[in-house]
Structure 1
Amino acid sequence: MKYLIFITLLFSTPLFATTKIAPATSWKQFLSDYSKQVESKLKAKSVPGAALTIVSVSNQNLVKGIGVTQIKNGSKVDIHTRFRLASVSKTFAGSLSAKLAAEGKLKLDALVSDYLPYFHGSNYQTLRVYHLLSHSSGLVPNAYDNLIESRMPYEDIKARLLNVEAICEPGKCYGYQNVMFSLVGDVIAAATGISYETWIRDFIFAPLSMKDGGIGYDNMVRDGNYALPHVKGRKRWYTAKLKSNYYKVLPAAGVNASAADMEKWLEAQLGLQPAVLPLDGLVNQRRPYTLTKRELRRRTWRNFVNDAHYGLGWRIYDFDQETIYYHSGWVQGYRTDVVIMPRLQIGFSLLLNAEAAVLNELTTDFVEQVLKREQELNRNSAQLVAEED
């Protein structure tokens, strides 16, 4: 009897047991899990509202509104609710400039003085167009941002810049700018005869079917479907007044967009709209023009970033050996992040109507979790091949 049991077990059990492969999380499940994570963390911090967009060229997209437009008596945020992009607006200026250069309408290596004659004889007469877009003008960081907050007109603010002594030669050091960066709008108008506002409205938003947002204060408030800004008091968030001051510097901080708009923008950044953003323009905007060492010390990000540069309106990070393109935005009452992962053909944006630091954690979580899932997929694929051999 024992002999028969042994024979039965021998023929019913594989001679060589195979290791069971744990399936990687499906993309659909990944989106669901991450979306719940965002909602949970925003709720824990009492953040009023958000717009989440995740694009994958080979999988489905996620476009979602979260929370409310205003902490008290606000409307539900939907995918068409406008948020201020703040400095994420710089990605539009960089992409537009690279597009115009690819089409022969603008020279990125031309002297700024070729387009703006008042630069002749100034401290910045050797400045080139790409220096404006890569924060390498040599000007002290955030020069005259305080005047943006004031009632002083943009024309008066930018006139003062040229009298500030440079701290290095153009291209030699990094100094983040808003006013100097925004001069690229004047350069574009001089080079093409078309205003920066018109370029963004008619040659970016319109052909990409970005129907909700646009550029400037009037665009933001044109109807009731926009997220109001919130600032933190001692114990809770308070709705703040929507200010127009940073709309003075349109290329640096003047764009508004919804979750639905950001889906179109991310798709264009991933190369799906070459008629609007040509591929050679996308490549050029992502060249590492300026080394940005201080980004290696940035809170939360410093745990992942090994190298950091600035391109044309985009940050370029080595995130745990993966090259990503990134930008953040912060203006009173709003925080925003955008990420492009070109190798994996994935894009991400998260817009908040509150100055909540949790955004850094949510963005790095997303990139880290995408890379972890990719590693699982690769590991499982390699194991299957090995077993077949």
Structure 2
Amino acid sequence: MINKGDCMRKKTFEMLERMIVEIMQEVNIPGMSIGIIINEEIVYTRGFGARNLELNLPMTPNTLFGIGSISKMFTALAINQLAEKGKLNLQDPINKYINFNLGTRKDPIQIHHFLTHSSGINALEGNFIAAERLLGVSDSFIPMSSTEDLLTFLNGAHFEKSGDPGKVYIYNNDMYDCLGLIVEKATGLRFIDYVKKEILIPLKMKRSTYTIEDFKRDEDISTGYLFEENGKIVPKDPPIADLQAPAGGLLSSVNDLLNYMIALLNGGNFNGNKLLDPSTLKRIWTPYIQTDEKGKEYGYGWMIEKDFFGHRLVSHGGNLFISSGYLGMIPELKMGIVIGQNCAHFSPEMIGRSILAILLGIDLKQAVPLLEIQKKLTTLIGHYETYKGVMKLDVSLENGILTGKIKYPGSPNIITFPVVIDNMEEMNFFIPFAVPELQMKGQIFINEDTGAVNLKVNRWVFHKR
């Protein structure tokens, strides 16, 4: 659906649609939905592909999906609402509200530190234990079924520290789950009930929910897909429960999230409902600490990039193992994008950044070189053989790592190794060994006219079949 778009805008969206369809086909994305805002106006929404492969039901802008860590925006918003109302102070120590024993009396870990991932505590991933159990892929018996289990798990990690509070950035899901407990302590409400009352209902995000029961009662929901190592695609329900809600448990749709974006682009107001003061929003979007990614700092539940082609970009991605999303905004231009997918093996952030850059008039290759790199890497994936099939090699991309598997003649064993590309233009690569001097070097040749791919390593040349 295109609203009030001129001819140039229509052509831009048609070009974006071709790009999206090509990416979905190349990297096996079952379904995707997208919404775009320009000047606080929704100018484009569309679903692509299937929200359910088995029934071939279409993905739509109304399709609910697990937004993963985009949920942290809502948790940070809840905490800042309470700070605005005087219910808590962002400099309060965590143990004022919950049974949290890490940190020291002299230098306590504060709410601010949890919001900015700067507690100094290593990523412990109790959140992952619970999620994997719900997905049916866990072999862990670490207790992780209640608030008490989570706090016992965290309080045992006295030596899991990489720095003093406020000094080092370590992305930490468990600490955001603890922020949800603080909301409960400060309000007397369940976290999910507070967010529904104070955020979702005022924003008319009526279908967004933290519960699997509400999700399954809805008519337009996505089936999530887990991509296993053997190539099998397994349908799964969202792995959510109250315990993981603050860090990554919100189920929402593109259309609902567009309401959220409109409110923030309008200074915290939506259809006459005041969500927060503009000064509070400014505090949320203030960069407090450098992240692991170049050019990105962290605010309160948001990644902040000061120079996205001359503009400030505030954003966050989310990954729930079987679904993923991306929400990014350029506040000064009142522009934003939200993307939802029912898979998690390919990050929608690259697509979101590409679209924002194109809307800014930036060339795609300049805007998102990672997208071109992804295309090249996808070309390399497949089965290779030397002359007459004497030696065989399989190349795959597993969790972002280019991997080779080879069976040497005369050996019953299959050897697995990483393939590290050190020059993307020349397609030079090396295979690392424990002793650096022994590493094998090679080069990949791609014939642009015929599409033929040849891989030369040491004395062998492998031809892609």
Decide whether aligned partners of structure 1 residues 169 and 221 sit closer, same or farther in structure 2, where only a CA change above 3 A counts.
same
Structure 2 partner of 1:379? none
How far the C-alpha of 1:253 sits from its partner, in A, is: 0.6
Q: Which residue of 2 aligns with 1:285?
A: 284
Secondary structure, counterpart of 1:231 in structure 2: strand
Q: Deviations over 1:207-260 (max 9, x none)?
A: 111122221322322234210111235686623221535652111011011121
Aligned to 1:100: 82
In 2: Cα distance, 1:135 partner to 1:179 partner: 10
Tell me what 1:130 maps to. Answer: 112
Structure 2, unaligned runs of 5 or more: 1-5, 134-142, 364-465
Structure 1 unaligned segments of length 5 or more: list them.
Answer: 1-23, 297-306, 375-389
1:200 equivalent to 2:203? Answer no
Name the counterpart of 1:216: 211
Cα distance, 1:358–1:132 mapped onto 2, change above 3 Å: closer
Distance in 1 separating the partners of 2:8 and 2:67: 31
Q: Which amino acid aligns with 2:146?
A: Y
| Alignment-derived partner of residue 190 in structure 1 | 185
Aligned to 2:299: 311
Report if aligned partners of 2:66, 2:238 keep a CA contact under 8 Å in 1: no
Tell me which amino acid in the other structure corresponds to 1:281.
T
Identity of aligned residues (%): 22
TM-score after normalising by structure 1: 0.80
The equivalent position to 1:158 in structure 2, one of 151, 172, 178, is 151
| In the alignment, structure 1 residue 370 sits paired with structure 2 residue 368 | no
| Deviation readout 1:257-288 (Å, 9 max, x if unpaired) | 11210110111221254201331221111111
AA in 2 matched with 1:295: E
Do 1:289 and 1:311's aligned partners in 2 also have CA atoms closer than 8 Å?
A: yes
Structure 2: which amino acid aligns with 1:286?
W
Contact 1:158–1:179 at 8 Å: present in 2 too? no
Instruction: Give the TM-score normalised by structure 2.
Output: 0.67
Contact 2:72 2:248 (C-alpha < 8 Å) held by counterparts: yes
2:9 and 2:179 map into 1 onto residues whose CA distance is: 39
Structure 1 residue aligned with 2:95, among 113, 123, 127? Answer: 113
What is the identity, as a one-letter code, of the residue corresponding to 1:49?
Answer: G
* Paired AA for residue 245 in structure 2: L
User: How far off is 1:173 after superposition?
Assistant: 0.6
- Structure 1 residues 358 and 85: alpha-carbon distance in aligned structure 2, compared to 1, 3 A threshold: closer
Shift of 1:291: 1.3
1:168 and 1:192 map into 2 onto residues whose CA distance is 32
SS of the residue 1:189 aligns to: helix
CA 1:180–1:60 in 2, change beyond 3 Å: closer, same or farther?
closer
Shift of 1:162: 2.1
Question: Are positions 1:355 and 2:348 aligned together?
Answer: no
- 1:254 corresponds in structure 2 to 249
Cα distance change, pair 61–124 in 1 and its aligned pair in 2 (3 A)? farther
Structure 2 residue aligned with 1:90: 72
State whether residues 91 and 313 of structure 1, in contact with CA within 8 Å, keep that contact through their aligned partners in structure 2: yes
How far the C-alpha of 1:110 sits from its partner, in A, is 1.4
In the alignment, the residues of structure 2 paired with residue 160 and residue 235 of structure 1 have an alpha-carbon distance, to the nearest angstrom, of 33
For residue 50 of structure 1, report the CA deviation from its aligned partner: 1.2
Cα deviation digits, residues 354-386 of structure 1 (max 9, x gap): 124262431221122122269xxxxxxxxxxxx
Structure richer in strand, relative to its length: 2
Question: Cα gap change, 1:58/1:88 in structure 2, threshold over 3 Å: closer, same or farther?
Answer: closer
Separation in 2 of the partners of 1:234 and 1:250? 28
Offset at 1:96? Answer: 2.0
Q: CA deviation at 1:190?
A: 1.2
Structure 2: which amino acid aligns with 1:313?
G
Q: CA shift at 1:180, angstroms?
A: 1.6
Aligned length: 338
Distance verdict in 2 for CA 1:278–1:40, change over 3 Å: farther
Secondary structure (helix, strand or coil) at the match of 1:203 reads helix
The SS at the match of 2:57 is coil
Instruction: Give the distance between the partners of 1:30 and 1:104, measured in 2 at CA.
Output: 47
Aligned to 1:168: 163
Report the equivalent of 2:293: 295
Match of 2:331 in 1: 342
Distance change (3 Å), C-alpha of 1:143 and 1:354: closer
Aligned counterpart for 1:70 among listed residues 44, 47, 52:
52
